[in-house]
Amino acid sequence: MLKFANQPHAPSWYAATANDATRHPVLQGTIDADVCVIGAGLTGVSTALNLAERGYRVALLEASKVGWAASGRNGGQLIGGFACGIDTFGQFMNESEVKQIWAMGLETLDIVKSRVAKHRIDCALTEGYFTAANKARDVDDLKQWRDEAAQRFGYDRFRYVDGDGVRQYVQSERYPGGLYDPDSGHLHPLNYTLGLARAAREAGVQIFEDSAVTNLRDEPGGHTIETAQGKVRAKFVVLACNTHLGTLAPELARKIMPVGTYVIATEPLGKERMAALMPAQAAVCDSRFVLDYFRPAPDTRLLWGGKVSYSTFEPRNLGEAMRSDMLKTFPQLADVKVDYAWGGFVDITMNRAPHFGRLSPTVYFAQGFSGHGVNTTGLAGTLIAEAIHGQAARFDLFGKIRHRDFPGGAALRTPALVLAMAWYRMKDLL
Ligand SMILES: Cc1cc2nc3c(=O)[nH]c(=O)nc-3n(C[C@H](O)[C@H](O)[C@H](O)COP(=O)(O)OP(=O)(O)OC[C@H]3O[C@@H](n4cnc5c(N)ncnc54)[C@H](O)[C@@H]3O)c2cc1C
In tens, the pLDDT along 233-274 reads 999 999 999 988 878 898 999 999 898 999 999 999 999 999
% pLDDT > 90, the chain: 85
Do 200 and 193 touch, CB atoms closer than 8 A? no
Ligand 1 atom having least distance to the Cα of 283: 8
Distance 216 CA to ligand 1 centre (A): 21
More confident residue, 412 or 318: 318
Phi, psi values for residue 353, rounded to 5°: -85, 150
Q: What is the pLDDT of residue 423?
A: 55
Ligand 1 atom having least distance to the Cα of 366: 26
Q: Is the pLDDT of residue 425 over 60?
A: no
Ligand 1 atom having least distance to the Cα of 214: 41
pTM equals 0.96
Q: Is the pLDDT of residue 209 over 90?
A: yes
Distance 42 CA to ligand 1 centre (A): 7
- Choose which residue among 242, 290, 342, 382 to substitute to test ligand 1 binding: the one with the highest number of ligand atoms within 8 A of its C-beta: 242
Ligand 1 atom having least distance to the Cα of 293: 8
Do 27 and 52 touch, CB atoms closer than 8 A? no
Distance 263 CA to ligand 1 centre (A): 14
Q: Is the pLDDT of residue 430 over 60?
A: no
Distance 372 CA to ligand 1 centre (A): 10
Averaged confidence pLDDT in the chain: 93
CATH superfamily of 2-73+190-256+353-411: FAD/NAD(P)-binding domain (3.50.50.60)
Q: What is the pLDDT of residue 427?
A: 57
Name the 3-class secondary structure at 54: coil
Do 176 and 133 touch, CB atoms closer than 8 A? yes
As a whole number of angstroms, the distance between CA 49 and CA 46 comes to 5
343: CB partners within 8 A, 6+ apart: 10, 73, 260, 261, 262, 263, 309, 314, 318
Q: Is the pLDDT of residue 421 over 70?
A: no
Q: Is the pLDDT of residue 276 over 90?
A: yes
Distance 129 CA to ligand 1 centre (A): 21
Partners of 161 in the beta sheet? 178
As a whole number of angstroms, the distance between CA 416 and CA 407 comes to 7
Of the pLDDT bands very low, low, confident and very high (cuts 50, 70, 90), residue 5 is: very high
- In terms of phi and psi (left: phi > 0; alpha: psi -120 to 50; beta: otherwise), the region of 317 is left
Q: What is the pLDDT of residue 116?
A: 98
Closest-CA residue to 263 (of 4, 15, 5, 7): 15
The strand pair at 126-132 and 230-239 is best described as: unpaired
Ligand 1, atom 21, residue with closest C-alpha: 71
Which stretch of 120-134, 151-165, 406-420 has the lowest confidence by average pLDDT? 406-420
Q: Is the pLDDT of residue 94 over 60?
A: yes
Q: Is the pLDDT of residue 174 over 60?
A: yes
Mean pLDDT of 359-364: 97
Q: Is the pLDDT of residue 412 over 80?
A: no
As a whole number of angstroms, the distance between CA 260 and CA 265 comes to 17
Of the pLDDT bands very low, low, confident and very high (cuts 50, 70, 90), residue 413 is: low
Ligand 1 atom having least distance to the Cα of 72: 29
Ligand 1 atom having least distance to the Cα of 261: 1
Ligand 1 binding pocket (C-beta < 6 A) is 4, 38-44, 61-64, 68-71, 73-77, 79, 212-213, 240-242, 244-245, 248, 261, 263, 293, 305, 343-346, 369, 371-375, 377
| Whole-Å CA distances, 409 to 293, 357, 415 | 30, 21, 11
| Whole-Å CA distances, 6 to 71, 314, 367 | 17, 21, 22
- In the chain, where are the structural domains located? 2-73+190-256+353-411
As a whole number of angstroms, the distance between CA 293 and CA 304 comes to 6
Q: What is the pLDDT of residue 384?
A: 98
Do 315 and 321 touch, CB atoms closer than 8 A? yes
Q: What is the pLDDT of residue 130?
A: 98
